[in-house]
Amino acid sequence: MSIRVSHVHGEHLAVQAPNGTEILRYVYRPDPDPFESPKPYAHPVRTLSGRTVTGYRPNDHRWHKGVQMTASHLSGQNFWGGNSYVPGRGYLALPGRVGSMRHDGFAALTAGSERLAFTEELTWVANGGQEWAREERGIEVHSLDEEAGAWVLDWSIRLTNIRTEPLVFGSPTTAGRELAGYTGLQWRGPRDFTGGRVLAPGAGSGAADAGELMGSQGPWLAFTAEHDETDGHSTLVFAHAPENLDETSAIHESHWFVRAEPIPTVAFSWAFFEEFTLEPGESFGYRYRLVIADGAWDRDRITAHLTTLPW
């Protein structure tokens, strides 16, 4: 048996596992509310057994939608969505600062029996309509392993500044709010993931408190939690491609933004502590991996599984 890919043109792509479970829906016609920074997102994301591991428009942050690419502070604009952090004033609803990401089309799409891969073209549009950046996004679904109870979602970005001025990337922390360095590829977990366990390589024998890993660096970080309604756990592993952490090739350092309380969320932050600048015509790229698994995986199991997944 093989995966099944369906495409509702103008709406979304969906991937169904051999057992019939829809494990991924990638929505490229985003919700229309401009305050939520309309952009493509992945939701629902499910394990092979059908457990949902993403949250969508939670009442605490309506702009959190599954897995999505974001930029919380970008040259005065907010491509994260919702309230904007203003130094000395806190979080304010500033609709004139919230940008969006426009789906322009698919440059390539290949659906095989064991893998879906597509390249999406997007434009980052500032509030008011000015086009600021072109993005080439790569999405791949692969390595479905029924015995392990896991599958892989790869997500890459290549972003080019099309303005005549530099683009300056930052975060609430670069603007003065301590340990709020969120930006970049973000996952929002479902409500029952609140209070989940967080693991990272070398972080002791058991799970670490999310606060211990906030702002840290490393090749991977995992989040595991027990579901409501069904008896079982799920684990998500967030992993960097090797070049993301290579100081000789990365344009800037990446750090983890992670919370288990009061909300479950993880982001590959590309501007946690320091701003960085993308000059006109210049580009940068990152590659990320999410392993979506049934069960409460420990560090040894995570490490062993990651070694079976070459980049």
Chain Cα centroid distance, residue 261: 18
The average pLDDT across 39-59 equals 98
Inform me whether the pLDDT recorded for 250 exceeds 80: no
Three-class secondary structure of residue 178 per DSSP:
coil
Spatial contact of 125 and 100, defined as CB atoms under 8 Å apart: yes
pLDDT at 1: 63
Confidence check: pLDDT of 203 > 80:
no
Tens digits of residue pLDDT in 251-262: 788 999 999 999
Task: Pick the range with the lowest mean pLDDT from 114-128, 166-180, 205-219, 291-305.
Answer: 205-219
Query: In angstroms, rounded to a whole number, what is the distance separating the alpha carbons of residues 3 and 281?
Result: 39
Residue 161 has pLDDT above 50, yes or no: yes
Q: Mean pLDDT throughout 193-206?
A: 82
In whole angstroms, give the CA distance from residue 190 to residue 213. Answer: 20
Mean pLDDT over 17-40 rounds to 96
State the average pLDDT for the chain. 95
**Residue 252 pLDDT:** 82
In this model, does residue 72 exceed pLDDT 90? yes
8 Å CB contact between 38 and 26:
no
Average pLDDT of the segment spanning 41-68: 98
The answer, yes or no, to whether residue 26 has pLDDT greater than 50, is yes
Give yes or no for a cis peptide into 262 (omega within 30° of 0).
Answer: yes
Are 224 and 199 within 8 A, CB to CB? yes
Task: Return left, alpha or beta for 304; rule: phi > 0 is left, psi -120 to 50 is alpha, else beta.
Answer: alpha
Instruction: Give CA–CA dist 171/182, Å, rounded.
Output: 6
Average pLDDT in the 18-34 region?
Answer: 96
Backbone angles phi, psi at 216, to 5 degrees: -85, 175
Residues contacting 206, CB < 8 A, separation 6+: none
Is the pLDDT confidence value at 205 over 50? no
Question: Does the pLDDT value for residue 209 go beyond 90?
Answer: no
Question: Residue 208 — very low, low, confident or very high, per pLDDT cuts 50/70/90?
Answer: low
Model confidence band, residue 110 (pLDDT cutoffs 50, 70, 90):
very high
∠ CA 189-310-308, rounded to 5°:
80
Token couple for 29:
């016609």
Q: Find the mean pLDDT for residues 293-309.
A: 97
Can you give the pTM of this predicted structure? 0.97
- Would you say residue 169 has pLDDT above 80? yes
Asked if pLDDT for residue 64 goes beyond 90, the answer is yes
What is the rounded CA–CA span in Å between residue 23 and residue 294? 12
Neighbours of 12 (CB within 10 A): 18
* Beta carbons of 235 and 293 less than 8 angstroms apart: yes
Do residues 54 and 66 touch, judged by C-beta distance below 8 A? yes
Side-chain-side CA neighbours of residue 136 (13 Å): 9
